[in-house]
Chain A
Amino acid sequence: MNTTRALVPILQLLLVFVGGPLIVGVIRKVRARLEGRVGAPIHQPLRDLRKLFAKERIAPEHASWVFVIAPAVLMTSAAVTAVLVPMVSTVSPFAQVSDLVTITALLLLGTVALALGALDPGTAFGGMGASREMTIAALTEPTLLLSVAAISILTGTTNLPGAINEIIDRPGSVSSIGYVLALVALGIATLAESTRLPVDNPNTHLELTMVHEAMVLEYAGPDLALVETGSSMRLVIFLGLLANLLVPWGIATGSGVAELAVGTLTFGLKIGVLAVALSVFEVFTAKVRLFRVPELLALSLVLSFLGVITSVVHP
């Protein structure tokens, strides 16, 4: 019993590590099909990673240790978050630390590391990407934490496994308009944080519109592979968080082998559905101008604020 309990973090880590690139593959495939193309196979991102890891490591002449360490910090922060966020099971040796405020801060750590790594080579692209990324991250932060506040008011805790258990046990406690508003706000924040449309276009290489891609322009080979893996892990974490707050049912509340197997399968199904929904949404959405992004984020802030107020008034 206790050994399988200790397995949960490892299982989640592996799931996110392998699942991240696969989810990116799924999104690309669905988009390609909807756009009338055949598209690359779903496991193409994994192949790309294998290719990148086999390449030589290159660093810009003027860069310092910050450039070298940034991908590792991004990757580690994503990995630690993957261990903390309940995805397969709400039981985990680290359940006590799995707290929404901590998770927000851990993800911000990865963002900051990559932004510093982007500034280090001294190119205009890197600076531009870092500047835009930090602007978006700064404006997303209030939405994230207000949504967290709304969720914690309804469930009585910011502890994530605790909140999810509460929703499973007493769905009535969260069936309110406040919760819906908070989740919509969290969804917009997720799009911004995981650099998806309409905030950032992950497929573009046009300098006027790039955010994330501009930051990673100087990374190549294994370092780029780390950045790509880290980013895809963050995507899965955000989708998983959203999925488990939206429909927590299916997540294991114990740590028996059968429960974990069911938990893993349902988790894969849930983020698969969300990924397909995301790609359908992206096909029908255009990227908004950079200086319209604050308006979108202000909208999500207002939604999350209303979420908190309505949660308090109609508990």
Chain B
Amino acid sequence: MSFAEVSATAAMVVGAVAIIAAFSIGDARRRALVTGVLTALCGFSGLLAASGVLATGRPVHAEFPHLLPFAGLSFRLDPLGAVFVLAVGGVVTAAAVYGIGYTRDHLSGRSFQALVPAFALTLLLVPAASSMGTFLVFWELMALTSLLLVLAEQRRSPEARDAAMWYGVMTHLGFIALLLMFSLLAAHSGNGSFLAIERSSSSMDPALRSLVFILAVVGFGSKAGMVPLHAWLPRAHPEAPSHVSALMSGVMVKLGVYGIVRVGFGLLGGGPSWWWVVLLVLGAASALFGILQAIASSDLKRMLAYSTTENIGLILIGVGAAGLFTTTGHPILAAAALGAVLLHVINHAAFKALLFLAAGSVVHGAGERNLDRLGGLMRRMPVTGAMFALGAVAIAALPPLNGFASEWLLLQSLIHGADSQALVVAIAVPLAIAVVALTAGLTAATFVKATGTGFLALPRSPAAEAATESPRSMLVGMGFLASVCVLLGVGVGVLGAGIGRAVAAVGGVRKPAPFRVHGSTLSPPWQVVGTSMALAAALVLGVGVIMVLLRFLPSGGRRRRADNWGCGRTQQTARMEYTASSFAEPLVRVFDDVLHPDLDIDVTHRQESQYYVEKIRLRLGIKDAFEERLYRPVLNGIHAWGIWARRLQNGSVHRYLGYAFAALIILLVATR
């Protein structure tokens, strides 16, 4: 057995033991500890298995023909799947360690503790499934376990029930699309195995192929949180316990991307350029809409959830660009774009999970997640604050952390791809560059807002005032992901070869590794681990040198604490601070056509004179435009239809006999 096979087996066995342990251990705190440690080991073994596959390029196979009636279970973890398993394994490890401290007080029940490793196992197995039956079984198990986890805190927050309803309905509508899609593919190949589908799909009718692709985009896109199928995401992710949110936002949505890449490039082996333009447009819409909602949102976890939609958008832009470059005959650029996608999948998993864990730590320590009521946490929760700040720098794609590396590669592939004689490309790609750049700028603003108002300055509520740092296991979980963000930023070249193998494993883009591309136009500095390290070292060293030099100033370098410049006021209070809403106000105003802010100002005058104002109330609500304009009418329509359909059933036996008679006549006529 190879290293990867041993680790994969270990992951499965340890995961199963974790589920058993959750049910069999009596003491609640010990249960949380043992289950957490076992789940972390399960995740870490998965991570090792994936690294084994990526390092050697040799897939891991496993067949269990008798486990599932008719089809059996079959697994084949190839380098493409391994990239996703790598991300899942890393996030599971961190989230499980974090969960020890996070769940031991109020979420230590047997079923909740057992659901987390079960969810982790399904996340690990979906990218490894190699037949239609296996894939759909684990896909559905993943949806169900995560649905139950969203409901975990329903007694505390009624919103969780609402969120679970949205999530449950939308994920099952997506499942129907996937079922249809796989049925079409399997009906053509006569066999549900991915290899058989891959071999036979090129002989499919083009219209049918396009239908399959559209069904895949709908089904997988709804799981990925792509606009306009994202409505469940900003509801469900914030309501789940934070380590589950980290798993959902960090890795579960990525499996939607996995599905699109697997079906589009692998099973279908690429397609006409309009497929990819559609994906590019949907990606651009998701990126812009997601980040605009994120900057307008004051709820910390909701903001992070919307930012997930934005990052999925960036990833889909990359997937679309890769497909487009394949059709225009630029395989090297296609490989670079797809490499950027896979790199961003891993990077986003690391920093989004870190940010969700830090947000959970804030909820744990301050009991509040509204940014307008937080503040001053950097001094009260220094480790959590530093972790969040690090995650914010990473997600804002700033050097030297990991977000920058993948965004750099994505922009490079787009910039070099803009030079094309194909008209579609010549217009779509520059627009994509503008969207990616605007998104990058808005992300920086969003996370300056989150860090600056949530963690800096004065606390804006008694809850934030009394915040305390979280238990050590939570800090360790965050620390693991933070170090991943640093390592992947400084030494991204480590992943280069593995990502290259994954790109080569994808059917549609059979080309060498993007990081090896050199010469003609693409000359990535990240190709050399040394240069990215030098850049990071220069930044850290520069800050260090300046901080040390400041100590040798004539004044002795000692810092005196003093009051702020007051401009005549007597005392600094938290009410004078900019809040998250006021910070975002200029951008909300600039983009009011998209956001439709619901602004309500209520001025009360004094009785003596209308020139004296007694109080001003301002209410600013920003709703999801898609929810208001797209989902509401549909939901209202369904509701109206339901009410209308009630007329069919009025209790009269004569009418029911009439229905039965009519049905009989229709059947006789139809089967004649």
Binding stretch for chain A, among B37-45, B90-98, B408-416 = B408-416
- The answer to the question of A86 belonging to the interface, with a C-beta cut-off of 8 Å to chain B, is no
Binding stretch for chain A, among B54-62, B575-583, B652-660 = B575-583
For B456, the chain A residues whose CB sits under 8 A away are: 63-64, 66-67, 116, 119-120, 122
**Contact: B453 with A119, CB < 8 Å?**
yes
- Complex: chain A residue closest to B291, CB-CB: A138
The 0/1 profile, CB within 8 Å of A marked 1, for residues 556-587 of chain B is 01111111110000001010111000111111
- Complex: chain A residue closest to B389, CB-CB: A66
- The answer to the question of B52 belonging to the interface, with a C-beta cut-off of 8 Å to chain A, is no
Binding stretch for chain B, among A104-112, A251-259, A265-273 = A104-112
Within residues 202 to 228 of chain B, which ones have a CB less than 8 A from any CB in chain A?
Answer: none
- The answer to the question of A137 belonging to the interface, with a C-beta cut-off of 8 Å to chain B, is yes
- The number of chain A residues with a CB under 8 A from chain B is 88
For A140, the chain B residues whose CB sits under 8 A away are: 441
**Contact: B434 with A80, CB < 8 Å?**
no
- The answer to the question of A290 belonging to the interface, with a C-beta cut-off of 8 Å to chain B, is yes
A16 CB to nearest chain B CB (Å): 13
**Contact: A80 with B542, CB < 8 Å?**
yes
The 0/1 profile, CB within 8 Å of B marked 1, for residues 133-170 of chain A is 01101111110111011001100111100100000000
Binding stretch for chain A, among B65-73, B252-260, B442-450 = B442-450
**Contact: A59 with B574, CB < 8 Å?**
no
**Contact: A65 with B378, CB < 8 Å?**
yes
Q: Which of A112, A226, A301 has the most CB of B within 10 A?
A: A112
Within residues 228 to 258 of chain B, which ones have a CB less than 8 A from any CB in chain A?
Answer: none
The 0/1 profile, CB within 8 Å of A marked 1, for residues 540-568 of chain B is 00110011001001110111111111000
**Contact: A309 with B378, CB < 8 Å?**
no
The CA of A146 and the CA of B411, in the complex, are separated in Å by 10
For B595, the chain A residues whose CB sits under 8 A away are: none
* Partner of A312 from B426, B452, B521, B582 at Cβ < 8 Å: B426
* Partner of B398 from A97, A99, A105 at Cβ < 8 Å: A105
For B457, the chain A residues whose CB sits under 8 A away are: 62, 119-122, 127
**Contact: A158 with B430, CB < 8 Å?**
no
For A153, the chain B residues whose CB sits under 8 A away are: 415, 418-419
The CA of A131 and the CA of B589, in the complex, are separated in Å by 12
**Contact: B433 with A146, CB < 8 Å?**
yes
- Complex: chain B residue closest to A118, CB-CB: B452
- Complex: chain A residue closest to B426, CB-CB: A312
Binding stretch for chain B, among A26-34, A50-58, A195-203, A240-248 = A50-58
- The answer to the question of B334 belonging to the interface, with a C-beta cut-off of 8 Å to chain A, is no
- The answer to the question of A102 belonging to the interface, with a C-beta cut-off of 8 Å to chain B, is yes
**Contact: B453 with A69, CB < 8 Å?**
no
- Complex: chain A residue closest to B440, CB-CB: A141
Determine chain B's interface SS by DSSP, over half rule: helix
- The answer to the question of B438 belonging to the interface, with a C-beta cut-off of 8 Å to chain A, is yes
The CA of A60 and the CA of B584, in the complex, are separated in Å by 24
For A76, the chain B residues whose CB sits under 8 A away are: 538-539, 542-543, 546
**Contact: B576 with A122, CB < 8 Å?**
yes
- The answer to the question of B523 belonging to the interface, with a C-beta cut-off of 8 Å to chain A, is yes
The 0/1 profile, CB within 8 Å of B marked 1, for residues 214-226 of chain A is 0001100110001
- With contact pairs A122-B576, A127-B578 given, residues A58 and B559 touching in the complex (Cβ less than 8 Å): yes
For B416, the chain A residues whose CB sits under 8 A away are: 152, 158
The CA of A79 and the CA of B577, in the complex, are separated in Å by 32
The 0/1 profile, CB within 8 Å of A marked 1, for residues 172-183 of chain B is 000000000000
The CA of A54 and the CA of B534, in the complex, are separated in Å by 33
- Complex: chain B residue closest to A156, CB-CB: B521
For B436, the chain A residues whose CB sits under 8 A away are: 145
* Partner of B415 from A54, A61, A64, A149 at Cβ < 8 Å: A149
**Contact: A135 with B523, CB < 8 Å?**
no
**Contact: A61 with B563, CB < 8 Å?**
yes
The CA of A124 and the CA of B561, in the complex, are separated in Å by 19
The CA of A277 and the CA of B516, in the complex, are separated in Å by 45
- With contact pairs A57-B559, A153-B419, A291-B589 given, residues A138 and B442 touching in the complex (Cβ less than 8 Å): yes
The CA of A103 and the CA of B564, in the complex, are separated in Å by 34
* Partner of A217 from B435, B441, B453, B565 at Cβ < 8 Å: B565
- Complex: chain B residue closest to A121, CB-CB: B564
The 0/1 profile, CB within 8 Å of A marked 1, for residues 296-308 of chain B is 0000000000000
* Partner of B553 from A57, A62, A69 at Cβ < 8 Å: A57
The 0/1 profile, CB within 8 Å of A marked 1, for residues 438-472 of chain B is 10111011001101110111100000000000000
- The answer to the question of A239 belonging to the interface, with a C-beta cut-off of 8 Å to chain B, is no
Q: What are 24 A-B contacts with C-beta separation under 8 Å? A: A56-B558, A58-B560, A60-B563, A61-B564, A62-B458, A66-B456, A67-B456, A68-B559, A73-B543, A76-B543, A80-B539, A109-B539, A112-B444, A116-B456, A119-B448, A122-B375, A123-B572, A131-B584, A135-B590, A145-B433, A146-B433, A312-B420, A312-B421, A313-B426
User: Which residues does A use to contact B, with CB under 8 Å?
Assistant: 53-69, 71-73, 75-77, 79-80, 83, 94, 96-97, 99, 101-102, 105-106, 108-109, 111-112, 115-116, 119-124, 126-128, 130-132, 134-135, 137-142, 144-146, 148-149, 152-153, 156-159, 162, 217-218, 221-222, 226, 290-291, 294, 301, 305, 308-309, 311-313, 315
User: Which residues does B use to contact A, with CB under 8 Å?
Assistant: 375-376, 378-379, 385, 389, 393, 396-399, 404, 407-408, 411-412, 414-416, 418-421, 426-427, 430-431, 433-438, 440-442, 444-445, 448-449, 451-453, 455-458, 521, 523, 525, 528, 531, 534-535, 538-539, 542-543, 546-547, 550, 553-555, 557-565, 572, 574, 576-578, 582-587, 589-590
